[in-house]
Amino acid sequence: MSQLSVRPILITSAGGKTGRRVMERLITAGVPVRAASRSSSPAFDWSDRSTWPAALAGVRAAYIAYQPDLAVPAALGDITHFVDLARSAGVEQLVLLSGRGELEAEACERVVQASGLHWTILSASWFFQNFTESFIAPMVDSGAVYLPVGAVQEPFVDCEDIADIAVAAFADAAQHHGQRYELTGPRLLTFGDAIAELAEATGREIAFTSIPMEVFQEALLADHVPAELGQLMRYLFTTVLDGRNASLTDDVQRALGRPPRDFRDYASQLAALTP
């Protein structure tokens, strides 16, 4: 086995919704990985650049899932610095998780595209898993979801599809090099539609209510959510959810040779796992 083949792939935000899935798939396939998180060894923290060189040392590729989001002001400088370090460390390939419709994320994409390394961009819409593995999950569990969004449609995408494409890119860097995939599900849904499908599949009563942004932000303050995250929520629920992403692509099909997973199937699988 060559030295190149045993060099690991770095998975940033390894405990996140996509990072965890990418890592699990690579481990199952027998690919060496290095999980990167605040609790990993070596530790990795997006807010502490001094932790980055040790995480990057000796890896051949990296999955970049920036926290909290590429839309925050610090992201462009951090991604620029990370890419510079990666190149200096001998990293050969970068796969970047990006946010569809986010101008700030697109600026970070351009840094990766100009890196001189093999690169693949995964520009994703809102995840299916945001309803069950994120801040919306407790509301779903309680049976009452209150969000500052109306009837705008979103092409929700499954994190399983995102992970499948990331792993495909690592398996065949040449085939996926230079590809910017805009990843969507097969249907446009409003948040109310998605909640209704979760309710139907699970047989539970789950109500969705659209509320003003000011009310939502007051609730965030009451829950002691940091100001930066509160500002990010405002951006995501207003600027990004203005209808700009209300369209579908065939990029999951293009990347994997199969259609994207449907939210209804996701809801059914969730129901099967619910006691």
Starting at the edge strand that comes first in sequence, how are the strands of the sheet with 61-64 ordered?
A: 33-36, 9-12, 61-64, 93-99, 118-124, 179-183
Please give the pLDDT value at position 2.
Answer: 38
149 in any annotated domain: no
Tokens linked to 6: 């045993």
59 vs 92: CA distance, rounded Å: 9
275 in any annotated domain: no
41 in any annotated domain: yes
- Domain hosting 75: range is 3-124+159-183+247-260
β-sheet bridge partners, residue 238: none
pLDDT band for 228, please (50, 70, 90 cuts). confident
Residue 197's identity, in one-letter code, is: E
Q: What is the DSSP letter of 138?
A: H
Give yes or no for residue 4 having a pLDDT over 60.
no
- CATH number, domain at 63? 3.40.50.720
What is the mean predicted confidence (pLDDT) over 15-26?
Answer: 97
The answer to whether 131 and 270 have CB atoms below 8 angstroms apart is: no
Contacts of 201 (CB under 8 A, 6+ apart): 264, 267, 268, 270, 271
Domain total of the chain: 1
196 in any annotated domain: no
224 in any annotated domain: no
120 in any annotated domain: yes
84 in any annotated domain: yes
Give yes or no for residue 252 having a pLDDT over 80.
yes
pLDDT in tens, 39-83: 999 999 999 999 999 999 999 999 999 999 999 999 999 999 999
Contacts of 187 (CB under 8 A, 6+ apart): 155, 248, 262, 263
pLDDT in tens, 170-223: 999 999 999 999 999 999 999 999 999 999 999 999 999 999 999 999 999 998
How does DSSP assign 223-263, residue by residue? TT--HHHHHHHHIIIIIITSSTT-----HHHHHHSSPPPPH
Give yes or no for residue 253 having a pLDDT over 60.
yes
221 in any annotated domain: no
